[in-house]
Structure formats: C-alpha cells, structure tokens
Amino acid sequence: MEEGGQAQVFRAVHKETDTEVAFKRRSSKRETAVARMRREIEVSQLLGRQTHYMPILDSSPQDGWLVLPMAQATAEGRHDDLRDPASLRGLVEALMEDFELDGSAAVRVPGRK
C-alpha cells in the first residue's frame, strides 16, 4: 500500500477475524527504528480502545511488525472536509478525548482540566 521512512504497509487479512487489516513491517533494523516501533506499540497499549485511536491488533516488536484495522479514511484524505473550521475542531476535540485516560490526562493541554 505505502512505504515511508519507518515502515512498509500492506493490505492483509487477519486470520482470527477474517477482516481486512493493515500489516506494517519495519523497514530498518537500526536500534532507533526498533525503539520507535516499540514506543508505538506501548502507546497503543496505553490508549487501549479509545474511540479515535487506531488500535494495534497484534504485534511483534522484536520481529518488527504490527497489525492494525484498515482505516476508512485519513486526515490527509479528508483535507477538503477539514478546511471547514467546525469539522477541523471536531477532529481535534475527538483526538484530545483519546488522551484523557481514566480521568487523568496523558497529555496536559493548557486551558483543559
């Protein structure tokens, strides 16, 4: 599907659920790339199944891969919709909700409790 500086992403079918997923494979074996993917997995575990956060369904940080649900859209793909200030604000507020875990903020935002 896509290749970036960190990984290659492929369409695949998750064997357990028979649903289409994104299979992300780390491109590099360098320690910085390994650490980056490990952090991505750790953050996913922290955020759990938050509404607006893409969960990791399966992973192997030592082998350099992870599996995510197939996204329906991206912010880049919705660029025209997000030019509307109300739509953009809705997206930002939804994402900020995901960083408030169990009443304690994982990220402190000025002006928010």
The verdict on 66 and 83 lying in the same domain is no
pLDDT by residue (tens digit) across 35-79? Answer: 888 888 888 887 766 666 778 888 888 898 999 888 888 888 888
Total number of domains in the chain: 2
Cβ pair 95, 83 in contact under 8 A: no
Structure confidence by residue, pLDDT tens digits, 87-104: 999 888 887 777 665 455
Q: Distance between CA 57 and CA 18 in Å, rounded?
A: 13
Q: Do 52 and 94 reside in the same domain of the chain?
A: no
User: The whole model's pTM is what?
Assistant: 0.67
d(CA 88, CA 36): 28
Q: Are residues 12 and 49 in the same domain?
A: yes
Q: What is the residue range of 91's domain?
A: 73-113
Specify whether 24 is located in the same domain as 78: no
Classify 22 in phi/psi space as left (phi over 0), alpha (psi -120 to 50) or beta: beta
